[in-house]
Structure 1
């Protein structure tokens, strides 16, 4: 049975080119992961705040190497695309920003991010999210980007709002964190807004 609409983005839209490096224009760079990032990833996941809002825990640098190795292969699969957020001058790892749950046919993806403890309060997540959003809409042609965060995570809510993602609603008891079930805020942006 034929569909009545064409795919928003055809298969191969991402993988036909190497994963790009994206500059924020204000001192940050979004770049593909490197194996040498693993020690900094492991260190970032020793922060108790990361344990509160993220389900992963890094027990060793070797485990973090495995994560980075997996992240490096995801671009080809076109379901997840992850970038290191780094200081453009020093190269210091400041966080991660990603497109997750990519559905090219629908022009849809979810934005995800985290920052290191040293990067918090400096607008790193907002600047990285805004840069990735512009690229996804303008260079690739995504139609809609969503952003989900635990309702109790007020800092993440501020990031979403400052990056231009409108709050659309609450998904009740939608995500299981170590301390129990959390309501999730659903934010979104549509191309052209």
Structure 2
């Protein structure tokens, strides 16, 4: 597993904007996700990243840039979204740039984000949803202690569409659940 660090994204950084763009236009990302904000170029990536950063300032979410601990290379993104302070829960999501896949980046970043959500944000429950059939994401969830809780029908858009829906595997982890042992990808 790659040693990683989480840091805030910077919409003023050309490197951050470029990585955000590459992550969102990646065909494998697009196969499993249809973002609410359409990102197709540097301008739309900067706008999206600025909005995501602004959400973090309000406490509604926290998006982390995942970097290689040794050299700072951007590897992907992990976020704690839809933070509900009353119910003490949130939804987590992540993606990894193509060149960083297969090195445990998603697992490592999700473990770190969950630790942040429970210890720093004081949340009780985290949910993770992925499209049915996305076995890689299912394995990451399980390695990070997110138990499979069921299939939610028609809960996310089909790839590249906003007029058709697909089912989602729902996983959850509680602050009271034991910390999972790190496992290889």
| TM-score bucket of the superposed structures, by smaller chain | 0.7 to 0.9
Offset at residue 115 of structure 1 (A) = 0.7
Offset at residue 139 of structure 1 (A) = 2.8
* Structure 2, unaligned runs of 5 or more: 178-185
How many corresponding residue pairs?
169
User: After the TM superposition, which residues 11-90 of structure 1 pair with which residues of structure 2 at under 5 Å, given as runs?
Assistant: 27-35=3-11, 36=13, 37-56=16-35, 57-90=38-71
Scaled by the length of structure 1, the TM-score of the pair is 0.82
Residues 40/139 of structure 1: CA separation in 2 closer, same or farther (3 Å cut)? closer
Residues 114-171 of structure 1: CA deviation (Å, up to 9, x unaligned): 1111111111011111111112112332111111111111111011000110001110
Offset at residue 192 of structure 1 (A) = 1.5
**Counterparts of 1:158 and 1:149, CA distance in 2:** 11
Computed over aligned residues only, the root mean square deviation of the Cα atoms, in angstroms, reads 1.7
Computing the radius of gyration from Cα coordinates, the structure with the larger value is 1
Residues 139/78 of structure 1: CA separation in 2 closer, same or farther (3 Å cut)? closer
**Counterparts of 2:157 and 2:53, CA distance in 1:** 27
Query: What is the match of residue 166 of structure 2?
Result: 182
**Counterparts of 1:68 and 1:174, CA distance in 2:** 24
